[in-house]
Structure 1
Amino acid sequence: MSDATPLDDAQLADSVLPAGGDPFDLFEEWFAAAQVGEINDPNAMALATATADAAPSVRMVLLKGHGKDENPEGMGGGGFTFFTNAESRKGGQIRANMQAALLFHWKSLRRQIRIEGPLIEVSPARADAYFHSRPYKSQVGSAASDQSRPLPERQTYLDRAQELWAAHEAEGKVPRPAHWTGFTLSPRRIEFWIDRDNRLHDRREFIRDAADAPWSDTLLYP
């Protein structure tokens, strides 16, 4: 006799991910829930990039702008924005291959969102505005760092940070390094995933061909 547990009504229910909707609206709903239910950094996301010859790399960054009104430098169509040192390893990969993928994994909510598409660099004015919205100590830390490059000893970095702090403390802000910038991912594919027992997960994928194109969507097998 089988000892398998019968599937309950919740597992047998139809998808709770709406068909024909706007994925940006669904993202806003989930992101709002994550800001309440996820303990640490609900705006943390894995950013995957690749070199010009397609060698992949991934790391965590923070989402700093999003939504259908997030305008990738005049192109429209909405997007997801993050900031980084363009001379870092990830920055070099982005410059070489302006495509990326994002992953939000909200473990406390048992949800994840995957997003893929081309990257568009933000304007210098946008980069300036965000850089100077950060706490002074964060500006110093970023400007002092040759991110991803070899560091002979930690004291070298600390000394540089201290020098920058003293040089700009009276003004209360540090000039933004030209290589410190931001990128907006203009999505072509967005997938929403909800964890269900026994691998009966709920997945819906939204796809469009261009920033101004309509979305099509479908459920996916888990």
Structure 2
Amino acid sequence: MWGGHDPQEGALKFQMCQGDGAALPWPRVVFAPNGQPAAAPQVSPAELAQQAIAELGIEAPDIRLAPPGDSPHGATVGFPVWMWTARRPATTGPISKTAAAGGISVTVTAALESVTWAMGDGAVVTCAGPGTPFTEDQAGRPSPTCGHVYSQSSSPGFSIAATGHWRIRWSGAGQGATDSMDLTSRAQLAVREIRTLNTHVRGG
């Protein structure tokens, strides 16, 4: 705890440092020689970047489906399902945050790169970006960017997991790096099968 210092030569001081309104990875305990103030804590750009990343407020995909998951009929075997995430800064980006302390500042920017959809029937679909929102005039057509067709039914519904893959870049104080983050949300979608019966009636 004393870091090789003689307890008779000074004291341990408890320090808390604030940066941009939020606590950095302190408190820290430092040694202060007798009669001298404790040295000001030093913050690294990487520490500031981690603070800013924690404050970005990015979220897992805000799942949207067509047909919607709360539809009384659900999807239909053989017909296209559209998948996308609602577009907000927190769900698709780009979103930025700056943290500053100790005379330096770091800016972090995050953007959604792709979404991986586990459709519950064993299929996994990876879509570049958030997907295309469905509109009624596209009924019966496949999504141009992110869709799936079920080949089997499920009355309880298939459990769908959407994982958003974020790319995070930070820079400041002459340094910088790239990081990634994966966030997952879930939904349920019932899938029914429509059966047709052909009959032939002979005339008398």
Superposed pair shares fold, TM > 0.5: no
- TM-score, L = length of structure 2: 0.28
Q: Give the structure with higher Rg (CA).
A: 2
* Higher fraction of strand: 2
Query: Normalization by structure 1: what TM-score?
Result: 0.26
Q: Return the structure number with greater helix share.
A: 1
